[in-house]
């Protein structure tokens, strides 16, 4: 299962070499970012049509191009399941509490949750 950010270091982290290291019959699940997977390598690892490849299947929730183009072979591949990329609704009260907490911390000079722009997230 892949849950990584989209950064230069993670793009196509699952390429032909990484897929070849998976055990025969493994499945790939990606609820993270579509850029993590080299789709051409994935399709090769899955095999063509009914001809089985190294992988048993793939469950994909995100793609490099969204929405996934209608012409993508992932839509019709017999061992690929495409799921809707929807994390769910954000509860407004919880979101507002988080924003208020961050503003209080900022105003008091307390440390904030940090991001690392150099790392891409």
- The answer for residues whose C-beta is within 8 angstroms of residue 39's C-beta and 6 or more apart is 63, 64, 74
Spot the catalytic one: 11, 21, 33, 54.
Answer: 33
Q: Residue 110 has what pLDDT?
A: 87
Q: Residue 2 has what pLDDT?
A: 85
Q: Residue 26 has what pLDDT?
A: 95
Map out the domains of the chain with their CATH numbers: 16-87 (3.40.50.720)
pLDDT along the chain (121 residues), means of 10: 90 96 94 94 87 89 92 94 79 86 89 72 65
Look up the pTM and report it: 0.74
Q: Quick check: is 77 catalytic? A: no
Q: Quick check: is 33 catalytic? A: yes
Can you say whether the dihedral through the CA atoms of 34, 36, 38, 44 is positive or negative?
Answer: negative
Q: Residue 94 has what pLDDT?
A: 82
Spot the catalytic one: 11, 12, 54, 85.
Answer: 85
């Amino acid at each position: 299962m892949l849950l990584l950010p989209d950064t230069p270091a993670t793009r196509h982290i699952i390429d032909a070499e990484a897929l070849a290291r998976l055990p025969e019959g493994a499945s790939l699940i990606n609820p993270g970012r579509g850029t993590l997977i080299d789709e051409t390598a994935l399709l090769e690892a899955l095999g063509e049509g009914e001809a089985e490849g190294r992988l048993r299947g793939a469950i994909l929730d995100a793609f490099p191009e969204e929405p996934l183009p209608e012409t993508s072979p992932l839509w019709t591949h017999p061992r690929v399941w495409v799921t809707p990329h929807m994390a769910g609704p954000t509860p407004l009260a919880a979101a507002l509490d988080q924003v208020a907490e961050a503003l209080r911390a900022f105003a008091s000079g307390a440390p904030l949750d940090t991001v690392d722009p150099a790392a891409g997230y």
